[in-house]
Structure 1
Amino acid sequence: MPFDEEVENIIWSSHKRLATVVSEKEGHPATIMVTDPRYDGRVSFLEPTYSLHIQNLSWEDSGSYQAQVNLRTSQVSTMQQYNLRVYQRLSQPHMTVKFEIPGEEGACNISLICSVENAGLDVTYTWISWEDGADTAHEGAILRAFWRPGDKAVSYTCRASNPVSNITSRPIQAGSFCADPGYPLEKASTSFCLLAKGLLILLLFGTLAVGFWFIRVQTRGKVLRMKKLKRDRMRLRRKGRPGPSLS
């Protein structure tokens, strides 16, 4: 930030006043007052221009910054605007596959969706399809394709990029998610096995519950009969008659 005239002070702001720098005067060093606690200990001002330097950046630091320059020989202030964008390295792309069968036997429409967790700003997505050793790029986070049994195997990878990094996903074959001859059979067999196991477990628990209930009822009935026989025997003894047997 070069100046042709002497600077009285510079006021840095971002949403609110961040810091004030009073330039050196008559041998006295410059005075710096940081007024926003979010920047305390993270900012410095590089002489002789007093440019703002921020350490330990985070996404919250992104945005517009203003420098109001007040000169000693003028009542007019000079305003300068800056826009700060903060980026971080991207994580592994996450791929989502959606498909629908429109009616043709075994064929389906496929939607491949690529995303990155906490992606931030200025992220671009590119789908790359591989067929017979040749690759084709498709811009955008969503790629739509059509597949039918007998089509050549096509692999897809997603590449996510921002100004500081780019990362590519593992390859997938979208046709595996559609209704080719082997895939639904294996899928159905697996589902049937899981369903059969679940029903068997439910049947076992149901049988055990009925058994415990039956034993409890039998035991309770026997106890009640024994108590009744004891009461009858006591009444008969009081009347001088022999009581009934407990067997």
Structure 2
Amino acid sequence: MTDPKWKKRLNFTQSNSLHLSNLTMADTGSYSAHMTTETSVTLSSYTLRVFERLPRPRVTVDSIIYEKGTCNATFRCSVEEGGENIIYGWTPVGPGTVVSWVGSFLSDSWSLSDLDWTYTCTVRNPVSNSSSTLILPGQLCAGSKATEGTYCPVKWIFLGKGLLLLVFLGVLGTWHIQTQVLSKPLRSNSD
């Protein structure tokens, strides 16, 4: 054993298998093992991949659009930790429940007369899986029934910034014109 960091974490079993303990994400990488017995010398290369247990995923609303009796919503599922190789899936809880491993986004449409659907987001990697609490699109869409139109947070943020910029430019232009007028000397009509 040449690397001292493995001294207390690496053991060989009776069947000459290698047993590693107390692994961390920092241990991920390529390794080579040189094993010598009375009759042979073997050099093997390995790639070690370490996976973390996944925390409960967080679901956020990306957009909700309500038009002509239909609610279209996009949800985003994410985990703060867990490394790479995370697979995202959405499970509708209702008629014909099937897990759909379609990615971290779920976009769907609901008729306002049929808002009883619920969803969960499930994340998985080779060592664990975890699910979100129930997502109730019906409650979000029902809230948008009062005012027909579009609700999209990203659009409203850009629209607000644009209006703020226009107001700022208007104030700046007015100030510039006033300072130019006030800085010119007055001429009398007798000249």
**TM-score surpassing 0.5?**
yes
**Where does residue 196 of structure 1 map in the other structure?**
none
Distance apart, 1:155 and its partner CA: 0.5
Q: Which runs of 4+ in 1 moved over 6 A?
A: 71-74
2:135 counterpart of 1:172:
yes
Structure 1 contact 128–156 (Cα < 8 Å) conserved: yes
Change over 3 Å in CA distance of 1:146–1:72 after alignment to 2: same
Aligned residue among 104, 122, 144 for 1:159: 122
Give the Cα–Cα distance (whole angstroms) in 2 for the partners of residues 73 and 182 of structure 1: 82
Structure 1 contact 106–148 (Cα < 8 Å) conserved: yes
Change over 3 Å in CA distance of 1:152–1:79 after alignment to 2: same
Distance apart, 1:160 and its partner CA: 1.7
What does residue range 113-192 of structure 1 map to in structure 2 within 5 Å? 113-131=76-94, 133-139=95-101, 140-178=103-141, 180-182=144-146
Give aligned-pair identity as a percent.
38
The TM-score, its normalising length taken from structure 2, stands at 0.61
User: Deviation digits for residues 95-148 of structure 1, max 9, x if unmatched?
Assistant: 11111437x3464431122122212243222101123x4413221222111234
Task: Give the count of matched residue pairs.
Answer: 146
Aligned residue among 58, 79, 103 for 2:24: 58
Give the Cα–Cα distance (whole angstroms) in 2 for the partners of residues 48 and 174 of structure 1: 55
2:85 counterpart of 1:111:
no
**Where does residue 44 of structure 1 map in the other structure?**
11
Distance apart, 1:154 and its partner CA: 1.0
Give the Cα–Cα distance (whole angstroms) in 2 for the partners of residues 183 and 153 of structure 1: 20
Report the RMSD for the aligned CA atoms in angstroms: 3.0
Give the Cα–Cα distance (whole angstroms) in 2 for the partners of residues 48 and 159 of structure 1: 38
Consecutive unaligned residues in structure 2, runs of 5 or more: 149-191
Consecutive unaligned residues in structure 1, runs of 5 or more: 1-18, 20-34, 185-247
Report the AA paired with residue 140 of structure 2. Answer: F
User: Deviation digits for residues 184-218 of structure 1, max 9, x if unmatched?
Assistant: 9xxxxxxxxxxxxxxxxxxxxxxxxxxxxxxxxxx
Aligned residue among 40, 45, 66 for 1:81: 45
Change over 3 Å in CA distance of 1:90–1:73 after alignment to 2: closer
The TM-score, its normalising length taken from structure 1, stands at 0.49
Give the Cα–Cα distance (whole angstroms) in 2 for the partners of residues 181 and 154 of structure 1: 17
Distance apart, 1:183 and its partner CA: 8.3
Give the Cα–Cα distance (whole angstroms) in 2 for the partners of residues 121 and 154 of structure 1: 31
Give the Cα–Cα distance (whole angstroms) in 2 for the partners of residues 92 and 129 of structure 1: 18
Report the AA paired with residue 22 of structure 2. Answer: N
Structure with the bigger RCO (C-alpha within 8 Å, sep 6+) is 2
Change over 3 Å in CA distance of 1:91–1:44 after alignment to 2: same
Considering only CA atoms, is the larger Rg found in Structure 1 or Structure 2?
Answer: 1
